[in-house]
Amino acid sequence: MASPRKTCIAHRIAVAALAAAALLALAGSEDARAEYGDVVINNYSDAAGMRPVVFPHWFHRVRYRCKVCHADLGFKFKAGGNEINMVKIIDGQFCGACHNGEVAWSIENCNMCHSANPKTPTQVHESTIGTIVLPAGTSAAPAVRK
Amino acid sequence: MNPVGIIARLVLTVAAVVAVAAGAAGAATAADAPDGKAVYQATCAACHATGAAGAPKLGDADAWAPRFQAGIDGLYRSAVSGNGSMPAKGGNASLSELAVQAAVNFMVLQVDLKPAASKPTATKSVTAAPAKAAPVASAATSDVSAGKGRSVYQSACGACHGTGAAGAPRLADAAAWAPRLKSGLPALYNSALKGKAAMPAKGGNPALADADVKAAVDYLVAQARGDKAAATTQAVALPEPPPKTASAPTATPPPAPATTPATALPALTVAQAPAVAGPPPAQAVAATPAAVADANAFNRLLRAPGKRNLPPAEDGIHDPTNDGTLALQAPLTAFGPFPKSNAGNRIDWVKALAENRIQPRYDRLDPNAVPALMDLNIVREVKGSMPDVVYPHKQHTEWLDCSNCHPAIFIPQKGANQISMAAILLGQKCGVCHGKVAFPVSECRLCHSKNKTAAAANASAK
C-alpha cells in the first residue's frame, strides 16, 4: 500500500480504502458465500458439542410454500427464535413434522442438519440486517477458520 | 496442431452432424428438431454469454480453441455429461441430448475463424493454447515468477480450481491444499499429469506440455502456501544478478523442494525471453502494479459470478469436513432451469412459480392443495421522488397465509401502517422477509413500480 509516490490524492484514496475496509468488516467475512436466506441456528448446538444447524431456505421453498412452515407448523419469522430442540423434533414439532422418515428423511441423519462450521453464530446469511446493522464484533458472517 | 485446421474440421463435422440429426429428426417428428439458438439462449447463455465460472464465451475464439482439441464428440460429451464447472446439460436435466448437441453446434458455429488463424504460435512449449500465448508473452506486466504457471492455470485449470467445481481445491485456499501439499510436490505433479479421482489428466487438456502442467502446479502450490511473500522476494531477487542464468538458484523459494523452480523456470525463460527483452528490473516493477490492479478491480467487494451459488462444502458456512455436508444438494444443480434474477439466490422465485418450474406444496402432506389467492393491489404513495409502491396480494398469497402478515406485521386497514425503508432495513414490516429470504431491498423497482403522475409529483414538491 505505502509507496513513496503517494500524494495527497493517494492519501484520500487510502482513507476511502480504510472506510471500505470498515464496511467490509461490517459486511462480514468475504469467506462466507452461503446461499441467500440460509439460516444458521446455534441456540444450543455449540454448548452440546454439535455443529450448529444450517437450514437452507432455498431448498425448502422449491418444495413447500412459506405458509406450510410459517403458518401451519408455527415457525416464527426469526432466526433462532423458535427454541427448537431435539425433544420437540422427535415429538413431531417444527422440523419433526416432516423429518420423521415418512415425509422427509428422519433425524438419524444428524450431520445433514448439524453441518455448520463450529462456533458459527445464529444468523440469516446475507440478510440486510446482518450486513448493515450488526456491529463488527457480532458480525453475522464470522471469519471461517482457515 | 493448427487451430484453423481444427476449427475447419470441426465446422465440417458439425455440418455433417446437423445434417444427420436433421435426417433423424425428420424420421421422428419435425417438432422435435431442437433449435440450437433457442436452447443456447434458454440454458447456456447464463454462463456462455458472460463467461461465468470460466465458461468460454460465445464467439470467443481464444477461449474455444483449446476446447476444439477434443473434437465435436468431446464437446458433445462435455455438454451432455458435464465437465469441470460445466454441469451436465448445462444444469437443465430436462433437455434432450439432441437439444444439447444443437446448442453446442450453435455455439461452435459462432466462433470466428480469423482471429485464431492470425495468432502466431509464440513458443514451442505452448501447444495447448496458442491463442493465449501471444498476449501473455507480450504482456510485460505479468510477474515473471508466476507468469507461465498463471497463464496455464487460467487457460486450463481455472475452470475447476478457480470455482472449486468437482471438489477441486480452490486457488489460494490453504485449508483445502494443506493435505495435498503433504504428499509432496512430485506426487502433485503426478496427479496433475496423470489425473486422480475427479482431476482429469493434465486438467482434461492432453495437448498441454508436461512442463506447462508443472508450472501451473507450481503456481497453485505457491498460492496455496500463501507464498505471496516468497513470490515477491523472488521477483525482487531477480534483478540483483543481471544474467538470466544466475536467476534460477536465487529464485528458489525457501520451503519448496529444489526441483520446483528448476523445472518451472527454464520453461519461463523460454516463454518470456523473446518477448521481454528488457532488463530484469522492469519485471520487478511490474510485480507491484499487479497487486494494485487487484485492489482497484471493478466491483471488488461484490461477489464474482464464479462465487455465487457455491456447493455447501465451499460456502463458508457449512463445515467441509462434515460427511453430512457432502450429502447436501448443491444449489446450482437445483437452480439450473429456474428464471434468473439479479439478487438474493439469483433466482426469480415468483416467476419460477408462475412458470410452473417449481411445484411447492401448499400443504405439508397433500400435494393437491391449492392456495386461496387474493388478487388485490395496494398502492402506497411514497414521499420524495421514488415511484409509488404497488403491493400485490396475489404474489404474496401464492406463498403465504393471511395470518403470516395480518395482523401482527401489518394491520389490515388502510393508512394504519407506518412503513419506512429504515424499518425495512432493520428487519421490520416488509423486511421480515425482504432482505432475509424474499428478494432483498437492493431491488428497489420491484416494489417502487408505479411512476407518480405529474400532478402528484408537483403537489409533493410544494
For the domain that residue B211 is a member of, what is the CATH number? 1.10.760.10
Lowest mean pLDDT among B248-257, B285-294, B409-418, B442-451: B248-257
Per-residue pLDDT at B349: 97
Within 13 A of A64's CA, how many CA atoms are on the CB side?
20
pLDDT band at A13 (very low <50, low <70, confident <90, very high): low
Is residue B443 over pLDDT 70? yes
Q: With 50 as the cut, is the pLDDT of residue A32 above it?
A: yes
Instruction: Flag whether pLDDT at B21 surpasses 50.
Output: no
Q: Is residue B315 part of a domain?
A: yes
Work out the minimum CA distance from A16 to partner chain B, whole angstroms.
12
Contact A58 B347 (CB under 8 A): yes
> Is residue B257 reached through a cis peptide bond, with omega within 30 degrees of 0 on the bond before it?
no
Residues B305 and B180 in one domain: no
- B65 and B125 share one domain: no
Query: Is residue B110 domain-shared with residue B194, that is, in the same domain?
Result: no
Residue B438 lies in a domain: yes
pLDDT at residue A10 above 70?
no
List pLDDT tens digits, range A54-89. Answer: 999 999 999 999 999 999 999 999 999 999 999 999
Contact criterion met (CB below 8 Å) for B427 and A129: yes
- pLDDT, residue B437, reads 95
Classify residue B35: in a domain, yes or no.
Answer: yes
* Greater model confidence, A49 or B87: A49
Does B134 share its domain with B84? no
Q: CA–CA separation, B203 vs B200, rounded Å? A: 5
pLDDT at B420 > cutoff 60: yes
First to last CA, chain A: 24
Residues of chain A found within 8 Å of residue B441, distances taken between Cβ atoms: 128
Tell me what the pLDDT averaged over chain B comes to.
Answer: 72
The answer on pLDDT for B15 being more than 60 is no
pLDDT of residue B2: 46
Within this chain, do residues B146 and B56 fall inside the same structural domain, yes or no? no
Q: Which of B117, B137, B168 is the last residue of a domain?
A: B117
Nearest to B36 by CA among B87, B89, B104, B96: B104
CB pairs < 8 Å spanning A and B: 170
Residue B371 forms part of a structural domain: no
Report the pLDDT value the prediction gives residue A72, as an integer from 0 to 100: 96
Chain A environment of B425 (Cβ under 8 Å): 128-129, 132-133
Query: Do B273 and B153 share a domain, yes or no?
Result: yes
Give the best-scoring range by mean pLDDT among B146-160, B182-196, B364-378. Answer: B364-378
Give a yes or no: residue B361 inside a domain.
Answer: no
The C-alpha cell at B16 is 455433417
Residue B142 identity (one-letter amino acid): S
Question: What element of type H or E holds A40?
Answer: strand A39-41
Tally of domains within chain B: 4
B364 located within any domain? no
* Among chain B residues, CA nearest to A33: B315
Same domain, B412 and B282: no
For the ranges B18-22, B30-34, B176-180, B307-311, the maximum mean pLDDT occurs at B307-311
B192-200 CB contacts, 8 Å cutoff, 24+ apart: B192/B216, B192/B217, B197/B167, B198/B166, B198/B167, B198/B168, B199/B160, B199/B168
B317·A112 Cβ contact <8 A: no
B33 plus B19 within the same structural domain: yes
- Among B309, B337, B365, the domain-final residue is B337
Same domain, B301 and B382: no
- The reply to whether B266 and B162 lie within a common domain is yes
Domain boundary (B66, B88, B117) is at B117
Region for residue A9 given its phi and psi (left: phi exceeds 0; alpha: psi -120 to 50; beta: otherwise): alpha
Candidate from A76-90, B140-154, B368-382, B439-453 with smallest mean pLDDT: B140-154
Domain range enclosing B146: 121-290
Tell me if A68 and B364 make a contact (CB, 8 A cut-off).
Answer: yes
Q: Residue B23: its pLDDT value, please?
A: 38
Take residue A53 and report the three cell numbers written for it: 444447524
**Domain contains B348:** no
- B359 pLDDT higher than 50: yes
Does residue B409 fall inside a structural domain?
Answer: yes
Same domain, B202 and B252: yes
Domains of chain A, first to last: 1-31 (no CATH), 33-136 (3.90.10.10)
ipTM above 0.90, yes or no: no
Compare CB distances from B316 to A31, A59, A103 and report the shortest one's residue: A31
pLDDT at A5 over 50: no
Same domain, B197 and B285: yes
